[in-house]
Structure 1
Amino acid sequence: MRRRVPRAEDGRVTEIITGLHMSPLELLALSGAVALVLARWLPAAARPPVTIAAGAVFVLSAIVLSVAGIRWQMLPVLAGAALALPFAVSPLLRRRAGRETRRARWWLALPGSLACVGLISAGPAAAWAFPVPVFPEPSGHFAVGTRVTQWTDPHRPETATAERGDRRTVVVQLWYPAQRSPADAQRAQYLGRTEREAHTVSDALARYIGLPGFLVDGVPRAHTHAVFDAPVAGGGGRFPVVLFSPGLGGVRTQNTAWAEELASHGYVVAALDHPYDSAAVVLTDGRTITTRIAAAGDPDEDEKRSAETSAIRAADLSFVLTQLGRLDRGEIAGSLTGRLDTGRVAATGHSMGGGAALQAARQDRRFDAVIDLDGYPHDPAPSSFDQPVLALTQAITEDTDPRYLPRLGKVLKLSTATSYRLTIPGAAHITFMDGPLYLPPVPSLVGSLGRTESQRVVAAASLAFLDSTLRHQPGDVTGALSAYGDLSVQRPGGGR
């Protein structure tokens, strides 16, 4: 399977072979390296031309890759070819000099050839395990635009730096229905407004989850399908709004594939960076704020901190909704003025963000619906609320987490509207974000749905719920949701 995606090194479109997650140039270097090793085992007449051609292809590809930027996944390929090159070229040089050519016995050469092939094979295996993410094409009829803004709440102090008198500031990225851009238009960088910001955020995320940064160096190279500051789609209608809060330590872009899919179907998605919580937040003045969230090691203290974090996030969501209302009314300048339907709004989030979305809806009745993507509610005193909820979860049992289901069930029962819990077979916690696109496809880590199927299922279930609750489209939402997993329906009054 082939797909054209932008590469961040030079901003041009480069074809990626999605099965191996390698570019044509990398495949050329790989082919040359393999041919160098195999040339020794060809008939005598074929060895010289194959060796010369393979060596030329490999050397030229390696030089170009060195200029463009070599991914770490190519280092084993280069090492294997470098070991094979002297043995492949030496007989040719001896023959050219008129000297007798000598070949090692096959049983002596075979271990070396196998070792070189093993090294070279490690390259595509690593590229497959840690690829440059390829984002699924949005399926809606709208193109997608994006922009980043920063807002400061003058009424809330920043509790993480209260001694300095700071006010709470959030960074928000909007994905919205847009007009079609030219085919050669630059697509938005993943993880940041610039490649530098993307690398800053990627490195911070790697540190947060305890991975060496080089393992995911393909992530900040990726571009998405959205175009920065693309003109808003014509027609003059207003679009329903979906606010999104990421997981603990997560960043606003962590669900880009999901956001682009919703935007292509006519929604505006506003995703938040929560400073001092998100792994890294790059402000407009260039400052980078890293997380201050850390486990205390005491369950009671950790739950107290989680409740405090959830409350701050819920307040952030309400503040951003207020700002979006001001943007729609023209009190804040922007191309989306008059296009935001802030009377049809959903609060959503992943993990910690999902719990915060539930809390925000309970405290702020301007939210009309909630989507909780595998999030545990940390609100210490939940009370009844009017909004319908879709809770998407992995398969959870008392053995995996004895608190999760009772807590989530308790909150869902507090809703006076019909709510849904959808358990997606084969899902893991990371299934509900972009992680499957660039992490090793290990079921215990990213689930067993596959890289693109994970994105499709989560977005399709979200759209079925949003179309029903925000757009009030006719149809059997229960049947639509049931197609994606095991559905439990919580009706008002405790009925099922």
Structure 2
Amino acid sequence: MISPRVVCAAALLAVASLTVPTAAEAKTQFTTQARPQAAAPPQLTLPAPTGPSPLGTVSLHLVDRSRKDPFAGAGHDRELMISLTYPARKVAAYPVAPWLPPKAAAQYLRQEGLPPGAVLLPQTHGHEGAPADRREGRLPVVLYSPGNDSFRSANTVVVEELASRGYVVATIDHTYDGLVEFPDGRVVGPVHDGAGTGWVIYEQRIADTRFVLDQLTVLDRGGNPDADHRKLPKGLRGLLDLSRVGMFGYSAGGPTVASAMFEDRRIKAGLAMDGPAAGPVVTAGLARPYMLMTATKAVRDQIPDLATFWSNLKGWKLNIRTEGVEHASYGDLEMIAPQAAALLKWTPAQLAEQIGTLAPKRGEAVQRAYPLAFFDLHLRGRGHLLDGPSPRFPEVTLIP
């Protein structure tokens, strides 16, 4: 079985040496090569979504009082942070949310060897607390699970594209498996590999997903699941169509998706972005739609558990392989790494180690188009991009 500690390529400001996942592990090692801090720190940016809807966002602090956290010490209930991103209206009066909240951002820069203020991390395009746009009625819901050592905002480009086109997207921070900041200012990092981690991490990820779905049900019925009782945006009650739920995940988020689908039939369709498979679902398979997005290398054939899982899928399935990209390309790093390259004086070869040789704009286009096409097909019953090769995306190969 693949090691559950599949490390997400989330370090955006470091020179990476990427090892393609194997049956034992898929880890990315980073070293830092920072230039001296400039007088005016550069501002990193993310591209705006292309859909017609402006975006609202809200973060929720959730506490699962039925479950003790195995990594938090004796007697501590499991705590999570999630964000909802959704079509909104009248957004001008509401500030946009940062890509990372301030204390988590400062810790993130420190762990990458950069002093606070060396660079300004991106802002999102989601307006905090903006009222939801209800003109389209109930909207399908998509969950997002990040990779190991990552955070819920690491795939903001894909999340915002989906939300701008009529989805409510819930992104999950799996506490002690990434960097998360709580409303009281606590910043919690990942637990180290070793005794007591292993499959336990995935068990927590799966339970997190089921708990988040339960809390979204509370929210849709008019309740406020936030543990601190913070005010919710207007219009969320009755907005979520929880009969149409999909889920996607990057790296370790991939096996989280497959295993959560195995244990919770509320998830109707699953997408893994360069993620393997692990746990009972490998041999049991699934009978619901599943799509895998992989890099240039035939990762599906190199990981025995993933190959077994694929052979046991009984429903609709498709492998989207993008030429010229690397494992770390399936996330915001695809657009941020070129900006960091100038700051850190990376060579073209060093940048290619991060995100491959495909032009970042093309990688971004693939990220926007194919997850949207997958969820449109299986949650809305529309679209034809996945029917076969597309001249719009010559870098993409469809593998049954």
- Relative to the length of structure 1, the TM-score reads 0.64
**Contact preservation (8 Å) 2:259, 2:280:** no
- Which aligned pairs between 1:94-493 and structure 2 lie closer than 5 A? 132-163=43-74, 165-182=75-92, 186-192=95-101, 195-200=102-107, 202-203=108-109, 207=111, 211-214=112-115, 217-220=118-121, 222-235=122-135, 237-278=137-178, 280-294=179-193, 296=194, 305-332=197-224, 334=232, 335=234, 336-379=236-279, 382=282, 383-397=284-298, 403-404=302-303, 406-439=304-337, 440=341, 442-475=351-384, 477-479=386-388, 483=393, 485-489=396-400
- Report the structure, 1 or 2, having the larger strand content: 2
Does the 8 A contact of 1:144 with 1:176 survive in 2? yes
What is the Cα deviation at residue 181 of structure 1?
2.3
Residues 236/422 of structure 1: CA separation in 2 closer, same or farther (3 Å cut): closer
Higher-Rg structure is: 1
Contact 1:263 1:269 in 2 (8 A): yes
Amino acid in the other structure paired with 2:70: T
Q: Which amino acid aligns with 1:198?
A: A
Q: SS at the partner of 1:237?
A: coil
Q: Is the 8 A contact 1:246 1:254 kept in 2?
A: yes
Q: Deviations over 1:292-330 (max 9, x none)?
A: 133x5xxxx8xx944332221111111101111111111
Q: Give CA-to-partner distance per residue, 1:20-56, whole Å, 9 cap, x none.
A: xxxxxxxxxxxxxxxxxxxxxxxxxxxxxxxxxxxxx
- Structure 1 residues 338 and 236: CA distance shift in structure 2, 3 A: farther
Shift of 1:357: 0.8
Cα 1:481/1:358, change in 2 over 3 Å: farther
What CA distance in whole angstroms lies between the structure 1 residues aligned with 2:289 and 2:358?
Answer: 27
Deviation by residue 1:199-252 (Cα, 9 ceiling, x = unmatched): 23x23xx62xxx3124994243x2122111111113160111111111101001
Aligned residue for 1:174, secondary structure, equals strand
Following the alignment from structure 1 to structure 2, what is the Cα–Cα distance between the partners of residues 434 and 472? Answer: 28
Structure 2 counterpart of 1:321, one-letter code: L
Partner amino acid, structure 2, of 1:436: E
CA distance in 1, matches of 2:147, 2:269: 19
1:286 maps to a residue whose letter is G
Distance 2:371 2:117 in 1: 28
Shift of 1:271: 0.7
Aligned with 1:160: secondary structure?
coil
Aligned residue for 1:218, secondary structure, equals: coil
Q: In the alignment, what sits opposite 2:13? A: none
Q: How far apart, in 1, do the equivalents of 2:163 and 2:268 lie?
A: 18
Instruction: Provide the rounded CA distance (Å) in 1 between the counterparts of 2:281 and 2:374.
Output: 27
RMSD: 2.6
The TM-score, its normalising length taken from structure 2, stands at 0.79
Distance 2:388 2:197 in 1: 39
CA shift digits 1:181-210 (9 cap, x unpaired): 23x853221212xx344323x23xx62xxx
* Cα distance change of structure 1 residues 234 and 467 upon mapping to structure 2, 3 Å threshold: same
Q: Cα offset for 1:448?
A: 2.2
Structure with greater helix percent: 1
| Contact kept in structure 2, 1:481 and 1:487, CA below 8 Å | no
Q: CA deviation at 1:390?
A: 1.0
Q: How far apart are 1:479 and its partner, in Å?
A: 2.5
SS at 1:159's partner residue? coil
Superposition deviation, residue 480 in structure 1: 6.5
Q: 2:95 and 2:362 mapped to 1: Cα distance?
A: 26
Distance (Å, rounded) in 2 between the aligned partners of 1:231 and 1:415:
40
Does the C-alpha gap of structure 1 residues 258 and 397 become closer, same or farther in structure 2, counting only changes over 3 Å? closer
For residues 117 and 47 of structure 2, what CA distance do their matches in structure 1 show?
Answer: 19
Contact persistence 1:133–1:437 (CA under 8 A)? no
Give 1:275 deviation, angstroms: 1.2
How many positions carry a matched residue from both structures? 344
